[in-house]
Chains A and B, each alone.
Chain A
Amino acid sequence: DAGVIQSPRHEVTEMGQEVTLRCKPISGHDYLFWYRQTMMRGLELLIYFNNNVPIDDSGMPEDRFSAKMPNASFSTLKIQPSEPRDSAVYFCATSAALGTEAFFGQGTRLTVV
């Protein structure tokens, strides 16, 4: 397995534009997590899914953020409209079960200007 695959690796967009981040989990992993990493706030859990169902979205900062997992092999995190304070590295991670090790993608570095 190629591991968790995220795209794009880098995204630069103008304020107000819609941004969509993508994640392909490891096959067979039932849990998928979206994290945001900044210098100020560290790694923040935004949302996680179990078997494609959102379980905890309490970390989603605002209604501008939304996440979907239409099937077991694909998830998206969308920001609409984007703002400069959304600039961060966004990570997708997956695990086979709760409490087990998480496997991270390489992240998407988002810059909103």
Chain B
Amino acid sequence: SQQGEEDPQALSIQEGENATMNCSYKTSINNLQWYRQNSGRGLVHLILIRSNEREKHSGRLRVTLDTSKKSSSLLITASRAADTASYFCATWGNNRLAFGKGNQVVVIP
């Protein structure tokens, strides 16, 4: 079954810097979504990009999608301490929403 997979990295950045994380997946998708999870909480939806879109913006978030490479990236600009969380990509395909393993981002004030 398909599954989004983030680059297995933990990011530690200074407040104000940009944070970029990547995700790759294996099969065809209808859309790709990014979620955030704060420690001990449920996942919160951030942004959705459809398979026929290449880039999407939402506030300080920028998502790209390259279906030829089966990859996506999430950029958080001007990071804040409150952005400290785990970030997951998720792909809709074969009538399933499958999640990657997540990227831990720590923003140092």
Interface residues of A (CB under 8 A from B): 4, 33, 35, 42-43, 45, 48, 55-56, 91, 93, 95, 98-107
Contact = CB atoms under 8 A, between A and B. Distances in A.
28 contacts: A4-B42, A33-B97, A42-B99, A43-B102, A45-B96, A45-B97, A45-B98, A48-B96, A55-B95, A56-B95, A91-B42, A95-B97, A98-B92, A99-B30, A99-B31, A99-B92, A100-B48, A101-B45, A102-B43, A102-B45, A102-B97, A103-B45, A104-B43, A104-B44, A105-B42, A106-B41, A107-B41, A107-B42
Interface residues of B, number: 20
Interface in B73-109: 88, 90, 92, 95-102
Nearest to A55: B95
B42 A106 contact: yes
Contact of B43 (A55, A91, A100): A91
* Majority SS at the chain B contact face: strand
